[in-house]
Structures are given as C-alpha cells and as structure tokens.
Amino acid sequence: MGKMIVDFETCKGCGLCVTACPKKIVEIRRDKLNKKGYYTAVCIDQNACIACTMCAIMCPDCAITVREGKK
C-alpha cells in the first residue's frame, strides 16, 4: 500500500497524473482552488495505491511524491 501526496500549492491540475495512474484512483478535485487559481489532483483511494510512482513521474511540476507504506 502506498500513499500519494500532492503539494496543493504547486499543482496546476494539468491532469497528466490522472491519465498515468494504472489504478484510476487519481482525480482533479473540483471543490477547492489553490492560491494560483487551479483545481488540483487528489488520490481518491489511498488504500488502492500501489506506489508505482507513475503519477509523480508524469508530473511536470514535481508536485507529487509517493511513499511506500508498510506491507
């Protein structure tokens, strides 16, 4: 089990992480804007995250980190 962490203020909501996630658990949240006026990415099911880091690799702003959890 992994954990996707998004830097809320750095994310521009480009959506590349959404398309890269093999588990389809990343979405662009539409309920809150960051200080720059962007909707940001969020992991909707941390328990399903496999810590593959595809979201972090695709992020052009390095706004995502992935931590591998205990098994």
Which pTM does this prediction carry?
Answer: 0.89
Per-residue pLDDT, 32: 94
Per-residue pLDDT, 51: 94
User: CA 61, 8, 11: angle at the middle one, nearest 5?
Assistant: 25
pLDDT in tens, 4-49: 999 999 999 999 999 999 999 999 999 999 999 999 999 999 999 9
Per-residue pLDDT, 12: 97
Output the CATH code of domain 2-68. 3.30.70.20
Cβ–Cβ < 8 Å for 40, 8: yes
Backbone angles phi, psi at 17, to 5 degrees: -65, -35
For the chain, the domains span: 2-68
